[in-house]
């Protein structure tokens, strides 16, 4: 551990992945199609023992990435869903007040010193996701979901665990990680995260996939879809994304749409069918009208 | 390698991307784990450890291309010259013979080019785009640059000049039309299945079928995407040559792309304006979230006894967790008076957009625009979800011209005072937007003085650099004495900071 302090880099455990390609193939094996950027960053996160901050539009597979990596490495996924008002007692640990009170009331014969030592024992500690991830003996993937929802001050809670993989509990001392978990933080970018947090993470921006990759994703995730239909779906979605809409269709919405088409037994989409099912892809009435009009070619450019 | 990295980090910092020492160390550490020959991997590795915001990615990419451009065997500059001309003509012939077939890997050979006529090049380009063959597209791009850009060593012009020259000669719009026509024809004949690369024949079979409008649109988007790829290739090629000519450091300086929030709004190019508009939407959303939070989680008020007792029940009546009442500060009322004459129009648009996007943070927002006449435009913003729509309507519908369509602050202010002056209350904050270039009309600064007397605050936002104030016909100084503050507001960053403090 002294080495850790001198170099400033936490010592990574045994590498989980051989190479960047191994990551990509492994992820493809659990039905997650990663591109160069994604697999490269996951690989680095493992080698450098650094958390990954994943940003990007909603529904592009940020949370899915963490889940897939957990499946791939066969680790347990511990998830901390962030929300406004999240605090230490929900994220890190909490003393079990009620149990402590009971303990004090049940046994009044003890001296204060004994009692104090007693009620601040592990037994009375309620581990919340972050502490749980650190203490877990088996390999863990920790997912801190939508970290942009917590307040700026609460972010600070994460800093110690992200850089040192340890949690300091004043009454108990410092709990160090027995194994370095792979950490993913996702953000929908509703606010700027603090520099301190960003500095400790590798940054990964997941955008809407390229046409070819989106087609592959549709083929992998939607059973029973024909190649031609997948291709057509991907193309239409790309066309819709070039329009200036309030909310672009996300990958998950694309998949929903493709599934619907398969269920309806549609083999090749025409304008009529596209218009009837657009509400799955787009969630605003104005967007739907606009896209339907564009696809029908009423006022296509030139 | 470490020296190179240090230079690169220096360049990123110069481009405005904050790179801390830890991140620099991380990048160096990360380099030990990835194969350096793999350029893509290198790019993502450095990107992941050095760049922590997606809006910085473009600036990062440019810097990366410049710094690591000549360092890969596939990117040798003489590539375009070493292919013998013989191979080239063969290639073209082959291509014509095989029609749509995707010639994987054959595109490499299209070097030489001295013997090619412009028609042949255009034809090659067309084939490359039709077949979606990326290596061939790259080769064509290289070819086009050496042919049309007319690059001269040591000539101090930016890459855009060469880009423009190349694109003008290629006539990409014409190519797009030709591609479309070709696909229509091939659907009609529908004799052969062109395979996955060409979507036109996907539903072929019936020879009389023409493309439906949906398919036509999809096809157009497909070709447009390929043409965009070609443009990117051409840009890369030009950059590579420029680097070879002048060296990375000199070039990095001239090609440096400002971050969207640092672009000078008054002098933005068309592309930059698009980037600005894109940056504005998330910016206003973030600002709204931040302000809403500030309002809710402000300082704590007095103890809320009732709530404290209520919550103490779970700890056996011991008030472990005291609860407080939160004060609800009143929301200010905003009056925006903006000059929308040519020179400052885009600035006014951005400000109106931003103020209305966060209008929920104010009790009331009223907007007025003027050139030499003045008109209220608040009605455009009512009941529309998207401020940009309203801003567009302002440009076409607002009645702002009185005499000649040159800014006349004095007249506009006087009219404002006569018609709406009564409605300014001590709760209003007045924002005046403009460069105060009054075309030597009377200033009528007394209106601003009266406004200040009535309103809570009067601010003036000036999109010009401070150094130009009060030069020429700018009379911002005359108004400034009656304003609470005059703020230089040239970039989105400055604008955001100001609006954030206002609410």
Q: What is the DSSP string of chain A?
A: -HHHHHH-SPPP-S-S-S-HHHHHHHHHHTT----HHHHHHHHHHHHHT--EEEE-STTSSHHHHHHHHHHHHTPEEEEEE--TT--HHHHTEEE-HHHHHHHHHH--SS-HHHHHHHHTSGGGEEE-HHHHHHH-SS-EEEEEETGGGS-HHHHHHHHHHHHHSEEEETTTEEEEPSSPPEEEEEE--SSPPPHHHHHTSEEEE--PPPHHHHHHHHHHHSTT--HHHHHHHHHHHHHHHHS--SSPPPHHHHHHHHHHHHHTT-SS--HHHHHHHHHHH--SHHHHHHHHHHHHTTT---
Residues 158-187 of A with CB under 8 A from B: none
Q: What CATH number does domain B283-297+330-502 carry, 3.20.20.330, 3.40.109.10, 3.40.50.410, 3.30.2350.10?
A: 3.40.50.410
Q: Which of A4, A21, A48 to mutate to test the interface with B (most CBs of B within 10 A)?
A: A48
- Could you tell me if A42 and A161 lie in one domain? yes
- Could you tell me if A169 and A199 lie in one domain? yes
Give alpha helix (H) positions in B297-322. 305-312
The region, left, alpha or beta by phi > 0 then psi within -120 to 50, assigned to residue A238 is alpha
Average pLDDT, integer, range A140-148: 90
Q: Tell me the chain B residues in contact with residue A44 when contact means C-beta distances shorter than 8 Å.
A: 30, 33-34, 45, 48-49
Look at residues A152, A180, A205 and tell me which one is the last residue of a structural domain: A205
A47 touches chain B (CB under 8 A): yes
Please indicate whether, in this complex, the C-beta atoms of A300 and B47 are within 8 angstroms of each other: no
Q: Tell me the chain A residues in contact with residue B293 when contact means C-beta distances shorter than 8 Å.
A: 84, 151
Please tell me the distance from the alpha carbon of residue B171 to that of residue B258, in angstroms, as a whole number. 29
Average pLDDT, integer, range A13-17: 76
Please indicate whether, in this complex, the C-beta atoms of A246 and B386 are within 8 angstroms of each other: yes
Report in angstroms the alpha-carbon separations of A109 from A96, A101, A102, A112, B330: 22, 15, 14, 9, 57
A211 touches chain B (CB under 8 A): yes
Confidence of residue A112 (pLDDT cuts 50, 70, 90): confident
Please tell me the distance from the alpha carbon of residue B58 to that of residue B235, in angstroms, as a whole number. 14
Please indicate whether, in this complex, the C-beta atoms of B41 and A151 are within 8 angstroms of each other: no
A229 touches chain B (CB under 8 A): no
- Whether the per-residue pLDDT at A16 is higher than 70: the answer is yes
Does residue B141 sit in helix, strand or coil? helix
Number of compact structural domains in chain A: 3
Residue A253 phi/psi, 5-degree rounding, is -70, -35
A236 touches chain B (CB under 8 A): yes
Please tell me the distance from the alpha carbon of residue B468 to that of residue B462, in angstroms, as a whole number. 10
Q: Confirm if A269 and A261 have CB atoms less than 8 A apart.
A: yes
Return the number of other C-beta atoms located less than 10 Å from residue B393's C-beta: 15
Q: Confirm if B429 and B502 have CB atoms less than 8 A apart.
A: yes
* Closest CA relative to residue A249, chosen from A264, A271, A234: A234
Task: Tokens for B294, please give them.
Answer: 């500030």
Look at residues A205, A239, A270 and tell me which one is the last residue of a structural domain: A205
How many Å lie between the alpha carbon of A278 and the closest alpha carbon of chain B?
14
Task: Tokens for A300, please give them.
Answer: 């296509």
Q: Which domain holds residue A102?
A: 93-126
In a domain? residue A301: no
In a domain? residue A242: yes
Mean pLDDT, 10 residues at a time, over chain B (503 residues)?
Answer: 83 83 88 81 86 81 75 44 38 38 37 55 70 68 70 61 71 73 66 41 40 70 77 75 67 65 70 73 71 63 84 83 74 82 77 75 81 82 70 73 78 88 84 83 85 86 83 84 85 79 71
pLDDT at residue A3, rounded to an integer: 37
pLDDT at residue B333, rounded to an integer: 82
Most confident option among A2-11, A180-189, B68-77, B467-476: A180-189
A294 touches chain B (CB under 8 A): yes
pLDDT at residue A142, rounded to an integer: 92
- Could you tell me if A99 and A193 lie in one domain? no
How many Å lie between the alpha carbon of A211 and the closest alpha carbon of chain B?
9
Q: Which of A40, A207, A238 sits opposite B41 (nearest CB)?
A: A40
Residue A248 phi/psi, 5-degree rounding, is -70, 150
Please tell me the distance from the alpha carbon of residue B385 to that of residue A254, in angstroms, as a whole number. 25
A146 touches chain B (CB under 8 A): no
Please tell me the distance from the alpha carbon of residue B137 to that of residue B129, in angstroms, as a whole number. 7
In a domain? residue A59: yes
Question: What is the per-residue burial (b if ≥16 Cβ within 10 Å, else e) of B234-261?
Answer: bbbbbbbbbbbebebeebbeebbbbbbb
Please tell me the distance from the alpha carbon of residue B135 to that of residue B121, in angstroms, as a whole number. 15
- Could you tell me if A15 and A78 lie in one domain? yes
A240 touches chain B (CB under 8 A): no
In a domain? residue A62: yes
Q: Tell me the chain A residues in contact with residue B290 when contact means C-beta distances shorter than 8 Å.
A: 191
Q: Which of A8, A41, A270 sits opposite B214 (nearest CB)?
A: A270
Q: Is B135 exposed, middle or buried (0-12, 13-18, 19+ CB in 10 A)?
A: middle
Strand pairing category for B333-339 and A173-176: unpaired
Lowest mean pLDDT among A15-29, A132-146, B356-370, B438-452: B356-370
Domain boundaries, chain B: 2-68, 79-257, 283-297+330-502, 300-328
- Distant-in-sequence, close-in-space partners of B19: CB < 8 Å, separation ≥ 6: B9, B12, B13, B50
Chain A residue whose CA is closest to B18:
A195
More confident residue, A120 or B298: A120
Look at residues A140, A170, A205 and tell me which one is the last residue of a structural domain: A205
| Global confidence as pTM | 0.69
Chain A residue whose CA is closest to B39:
A36
ipTM above 0.90, yes or no: no
- Could you tell me if A115 and A235 lie in one domain? no
Q: Which of B221, B314, B386 sits opposite A242 (nearest CB)?
A: B221
Q: Confirm if A165 and A180 have CB atoms less than 8 A apart.
A: yes
Please indicate whether, in this complex, the C-beta atoms of A300 and B29 are within 8 angstroms of each other: no
Please indicate whether, in this complex, the C-beta atoms of B213 and A297 are within 8 angstroms of each other: yes
- Distant-in-sequence, close-in-space partners of A244: CB < 8 Å, separation ≥ 6: none
Q: Which of A7, A40, A241 to mutate to test the interface with B (most CBs of B within 10 A)?
A: A40
Q: Confirm if A86 and A227 have CB atoms less than 8 A apart.
A: no
The region, left, alpha or beta by phi > 0 then psi within -120 to 50, assigned to residue B288 is alpha
- Whether the per-residue pLDDT at A9 is higher than 60: the answer is no
3-class SS string, B463-497: CCCHHHCCCCCECHHHHHCCCCEEEECCCHHHHHH
Q: Is the dihedral of CA B172, B177, B179, B182 positive or negative?
A: negative
Q: Confirm if A103 and A118 have CB atoms less than 8 A apart.
A: yes
Lowest mean pLDDT among A51-60, A84-93, B56-65, B66-75: B66-75
In a domain? residue A302: no
3-class SS string, B205-231: CCCCCCCCHHHHHHHHHHHHHHHHHHH
In a domain? residue A152: yes
């Amino acid at each position: 551990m002294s080495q850790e302090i001198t170099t400033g880099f936490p010592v990574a455990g045994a590498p989980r992945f051989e190479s960047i390609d191994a990551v990509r193939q492994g992820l493809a094996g659990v039905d997650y199609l990663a591109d160069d950027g994604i697999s490269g960053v996951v690989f680095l996160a493992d080698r450098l023992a650094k958390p990954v901050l994943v940003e990007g539009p909603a529904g592009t597979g940020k949370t899915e990435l963490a889940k897939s990596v957990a499946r791939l490495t066969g680790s347990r996924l511990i998830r901390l869903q962030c929300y406004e008002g999240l605090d230490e007692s929900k994220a890190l640990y909490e003393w079990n007040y009620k149990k402590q009170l009971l303990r004090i009331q049940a046994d009044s014969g003890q001296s204060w010193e004994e009692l104090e030592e007693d009620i601040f024992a592990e037994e009375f500690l309620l581990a919340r996701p972050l502490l749980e991830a650190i203490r877990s003996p088996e390999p863990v993937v920790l997912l801190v979901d939508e970290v942009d929802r917590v307040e700026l001050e609460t972010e600070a809670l994460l800093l110690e665990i992200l850089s040192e993989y340890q949690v300091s509990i004043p009454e108990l001392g410092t709990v160090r990680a027995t194994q370095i978990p792979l950490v993913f933080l996702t953000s929908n970018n509703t606010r700027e995260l603090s520099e301190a947090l960003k500095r400790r993470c590798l940054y990964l921006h997941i955008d809407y996939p390229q046409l070819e990759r989106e087609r592959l994703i549709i083929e992998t995730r939607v059973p029973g879809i024909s190649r031609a239909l997948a291709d057509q779906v991907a193309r239409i979605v790309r066309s819709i994304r070039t329009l200036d809409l309030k909310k672009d269709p996300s990958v998950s919405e694309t998949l929903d749409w493709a599934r619907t088409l398969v269920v309806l037994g549609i083999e090749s989409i025409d304008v009529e069918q596209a218009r009837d099912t657009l509400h799955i892809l787009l969630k605003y009435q104005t967007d739907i009208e606009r896209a339907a009009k564009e696809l029908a070619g009423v006022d296509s450019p030139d | 390698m470490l020296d190179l990295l240090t230079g690169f980090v220096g360049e990123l910092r110069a481009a405005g991307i904050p790179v801390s020492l830890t991140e620099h160390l991380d990048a160096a550490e990360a380099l030990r784990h990835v194969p350096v020959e793999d350029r893509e991997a290198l790019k993502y590795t450095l990107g992941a450890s050095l760049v922590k915001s997606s809006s910085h990615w473009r600036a990062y990419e440019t810097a990366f291309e410049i710094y690591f451009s000549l360092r890969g065997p596939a990117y040798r500059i003489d590539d375009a010259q070493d292919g013998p001309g013989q191979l080239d003509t063969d290639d073209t012939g082959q291509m014509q013979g095989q029609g749509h077939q995707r010639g994987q890997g054959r595109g490499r050979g299209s070097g030489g080019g001295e013997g090619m006529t412009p028609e042949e090049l255009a034809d090659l380009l067309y084939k490359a785009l039709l077949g979606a063959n990326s290596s061939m597209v790259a080769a064509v791009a290289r070819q086009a640059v050496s042919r049309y850009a007319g690059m001269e060593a040591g000539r101090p012009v930016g890459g855009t000049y060469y880009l423009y020259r190349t694109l003008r000669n290629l006539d990409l719009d014409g190519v797009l039309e030709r591609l479309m026509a070709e696909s229509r024809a091939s659907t009609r004949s529908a004799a052969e299945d062109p395979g996955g690369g060409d979507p036109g024949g996907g539903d072929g079979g019936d020879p009389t079928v023409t493309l439906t409008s949906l398919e036509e649109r999809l096809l157009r988007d497909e070709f447009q995407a390929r043409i965009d790829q070609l443009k990117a290739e051409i840009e890369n090629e030009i950059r590579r040559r420029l680097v070879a000519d002048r060296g990375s450091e000199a070039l990095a300086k001239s090609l440096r792309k400002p971050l969207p929030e640092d672009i000078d709004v008054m002098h933005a190019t068309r592309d930059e304006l698009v980037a600005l508009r894109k940056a504005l939407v998330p910016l206003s959303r973030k600002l709204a979230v931040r302000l809403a939070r500030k309002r809710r989680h402000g300082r704590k008020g007095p103890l809320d006894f009732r709530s404290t007792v209520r919550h103490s029940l779970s700890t056996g009546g011991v008030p472990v967790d005291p609860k407080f009442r939160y004060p609800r500060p009143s929301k200010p009322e905003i009056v925006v008076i903006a000059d929308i004459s040519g020179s400052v129009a885009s600035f006014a648009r951005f400000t109106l957009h931003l103020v209305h996007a966060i209008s929920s943070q104010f009790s009331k927002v009223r907007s007025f625009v003027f050139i030499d006449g003045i008109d209220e435009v608040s009605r455009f913003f009512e009941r529309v979800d998207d401020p940009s729509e309203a801003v567009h309507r302002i440009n076409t519908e607002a009645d702002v011209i009185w005499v000649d369509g040159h800014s006349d602050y004095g007249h506009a202010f006087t009219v404002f005072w006569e018609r709406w002056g009564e409605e300014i209350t001590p709760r209003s904050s007045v924002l005046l937007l403009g460069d105060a270039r009054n075309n030597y009309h009377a200033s009528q600064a007394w209106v601003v003085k009266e406004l200040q007397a009535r309103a809570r605050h009067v601010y003036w936002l000036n999109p010009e650099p401070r150094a130009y104030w009060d030069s020429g016909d700018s009379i911002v100084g005359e108004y400034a004495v009656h304003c609470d503050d005059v703020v230089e507001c040239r970039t989105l960053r400055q604008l955001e900071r100001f609006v954030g403090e206002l609410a």
